Each structure stands twice: as structure tokens, then as C-alpha cells.
Structure 1
């Protein structure tokens, strides 16, 4: 069972994130987290964040540890931080702060390990995450560098987008130079298939970590947000089809 934590201090709102700007919050475990609230990110976005973080572990991606965070309403009511009401509505998604992090820039791309770039490209197509674009003139890359210059992968609240256009994904993804790595390359696939099978096999544990408030509207267990958990699983199982690999 994932440790549940409670907010103790709302420090500030981050400038990162276009659709949902997280808040830096200190918790009762003494750690600081970037936090997205249910009121703004909605249950759909928080479910995507949590599932992506767990799936990313199976692929060995450098995704920060996450927790479910309870935020006392009194802490929100008496905070002077702008936009703090975005943290209301129920348990929040909290991603451990990466100390002294910096944004990934276009000039950094060539110094990144090729296998890591390939894996992130694959991961984003697997979970249908179109929020990793970068060009010479900027973008919304959702990748940062830690104090050692190592890559860290963040922000998956818009993943599991069944309407994601493959042509746009291929045109704008930050690691589009790795396209073609899997199509017809059986050896490349063989490296990933055991990881994917293990991730799918862990689906029950992963979904058990999700708070009920993230899944249901008006506390009605039959009124699940779309995409439902079953629809998300079907998205992930696309890797069993040849067409999936051909699009990479």
C-alpha cells in the first residue's frame, strides 16, 4: 500500500505546466512535493498521473516517486498563495520535488543517452501522451534535469488520450529523431516485451492505489470518469498488435 501523506505548508505555485500548474507543498513526512489538486486537474488527470508513474517504473524511467496527499481545507482557506483553491476537492497527486532542477533545453538534446530517448518516445506512444513537444523555439517538453544533469520525466495528466493524432505525435515529440527504432526491428521489441507484460500483470496493484474520489463522480461507483480503467487497459494492450509497432 502506498504511503498517504498530509500537507503542512503550501509554499508557492509553480510556473511549470500549461494545463495544470502544480503547487510546491511541504508534507508531514518532511519532504516537499509538486502537487496537483482534484479541483483543477480533475480525477481523470490525477489517475493518468498515477498510472503513468507506476508504468514508468516498469520501463525503468526516471519518474519521481509519488504519493496521495490530503490537504486540510483550513490550510487552503488561510493560504495567501494565488490560485490555491485549485488544491481543493479531495486527495491530490503529489510528485516528489527534484532539488535544484532545471528545464531541458533544445541545446541539451544531443547529450542525452539514445536508449533513454528511445524509451521515452516509446512510453509516450504506449500511454498516448502527446504532451512532450519541443523545437528550436520552445515547447512543452515536461522533462527536467536534476542537479547532476540527469534527465527526469514528469507530468502525465493528459495521457491516455484516445484522440491523439499519430501524425502530430510524430511531428512534434521531442525525441522524434528516434522514430523508426521499432518498426520491423524484432530485437528492439524483444527488449520491451517482458517489461510490458510485467506492467500489464501489475495492473491490479496499480489501480488499487487510486483513491475512489479520483474515479467516481458524486460518489457513484458506477459513474466512472472516461477513459475508464478498462479503456485505459485496452489502450496499453495495443502493444500486442503489429500496427502499434509500425507507428513507431
Structure 2
């Protein structure tokens, strides 16, 4: 499981994100960008964040540390924004926190060229998890200590928004036309050769075990065990045939 902390002060909303994440201080003296379960697509977005973020970490890609952060809506009393108050009221309990990277810059593909190996590995993971939200319009990358960091993976694994049709998406091709790192990803074949063997059913089970149970139980699954098995089986089937979905951008 992810480490648990408790939110102690709501600092400010971050209006760059469509789901209105916020900056929150916690009892471990850390500051986190919090994605709230009461926003947008609800807990499924948080599940996607954990699966993508923790899988990226195990594949040695740079992602901020993730925590489960308990939120008491009472911390919004000093917040004058009615929208924020309503969001926090709907988000009592467990939410997702990403370690705040102070001084980080927004990624600019012109000002911040990316190493081809790293770009290819990121594109491979985004293609595998069907992350459609790393475009040149919205890179979802930060530059911190001169290194790109991957953030905002809530749009990944979007098959889980329609489980009855999830099987039809196992071999769905990924379009990289808009991907911000596609021009740099000239070593995609090498990334595929490495990651296709590293992403195993056991690794996926390890990552899925980190998702809190109450984010998994709902209309689709009566138990967290059944939900984890369904995610693991889908993602295991997808990695078994990378040629079906891997984009062809190496020669670009």
C-alpha cells in the first residue's frame, strides 16, 4: 500500500488542472498536490494515477512520490471559494497526494529537448496505458533539477470507464500524432524490447496492491480482489502483444 498521511491545511487550488487539484500540507511536514476523489471521474482517476505512477517508478521513470492523504472537509473552512468547499465536502476520507516539486518549470519541447532513450520509454508507457493526455498542448511534464518529471496520469487506462467493453480495447492501437515526446522517441524499439519483458503479471499485481480498496469497490466490482484481478488480466493481455498497439514513430 501507499504511505498514508493526513492533510492539515488546504493551501491553494491549482486551477491549471481540469479536476481542480489543490496544494495541501500534511502531518508529515510534506506538501502535496492532491487529486480529490470527489472531482471529475471520481476514484477511477485516482486508480489510474496510482497504476501509471507506480508502474513508471518500477520502470525507472521519474515521477513524484505518491501518498494516500486523508482529508477532513473541515480544513476548507478558511477557503472562500464555494467550488473548493463543495469539492472538499465530497472528498472526505482517502485521496491521492503527489509530492510537490518546488520551483519546477512547465515543460517546453523547444526549450527542453529530451534524451531519445527517456522519450522512447515514456512514449512506450503512455502507449501501453493509453495515456492520451501528454500532448504538445498539455504535456503533463515538469522540469525539476534539469530533468523531466511525469505528472497527471488520470486519463490513463481509460478502458476502466466501460468494463463491459474493456476486452475490445486490449489490442487497441495508440495514436502518437499528438504526443509531445514523439519527435524525440527514436529508440522506441529498444524501449519495447526492455519493457515488454519487465512488465509481468507479478509486477502489475504489486502495483495494483498499492491501490486503496475503497477506490476499487463500486458498481463494477463487489470486491477489491476482483477489481485487481480484472485490471491485472487486461494489462497482462495488452503487454503480451505490443505490436498491436505500439506506434510507429522511430523513423520520424
Task: Bin the TM-score by the shorter chain.
Answer: 0.7 to 0.9
TM-score (norm 2): 0.81
| Equivalence for 1:191 | 194
Using the alignment, how far apart are the partners of 1:81 and 1:95 within structure 2? Answer: 23
2:157 counterpart of 1:154: no
Report if the CA contact (8 A) 1:90-1:213 is conserved: no
Using the alignment, how far apart are the partners of 1:114 and 1:247 within structure 2? Answer: 15
How many pairs align? Answer: 232
- Deviation digits for residues 45-87 of structure 1 (CA, Å, limit 9, x no counterpart): 0001011111001211100000000011221344335532323
| Secondary structure in 1 matching 2:38 | helix
2:46 counterpart of 1:46: yes
Using the alignment, how far apart are the partners of 1:211 and 1:246 within structure 2? Answer: 30
Structure 1 residues 15-54: aligned runs within 5 Å: 15-18=15-18, 20-41=19-40, 42-54=42-54
Report if the CA contact (8 A) 1:10-1:81 is conserved: no
Report if the CA contact (8 A) 1:40-1:86 is conserved: yes
- Deviation digits for residues 5-47 of structure 1 (CA, Å, limit 9, x no counterpart): 00011000113323x2210000000010000111104110000
The answer for unaligned runs of 5 or more in structure 1 is none
2:138 counterpart of 1:140: yes
Using the alignment, how far apart are the partners of 1:179 and 1:234 within structure 2? Answer: 28
| Equivalence for 2:231 | 232
What is the Cα deviation at residue 89 of structure 1?
3.9
The answer for unaligned runs of 5 or more in structure 2 is 160-168
RMSD across aligned positions (CA): 2.7
Using the alignment, how far apart are the partners of 1:105 and 1:242 within structure 2? Answer: 29
2:175 counterpart of 1:177: no
| Equivalence for 1:130 | 132
- Deviation digits for residues 121-147 of structure 1 (CA, Å, limit 9, x no counterpart): 00101111100000xxxx11100111x
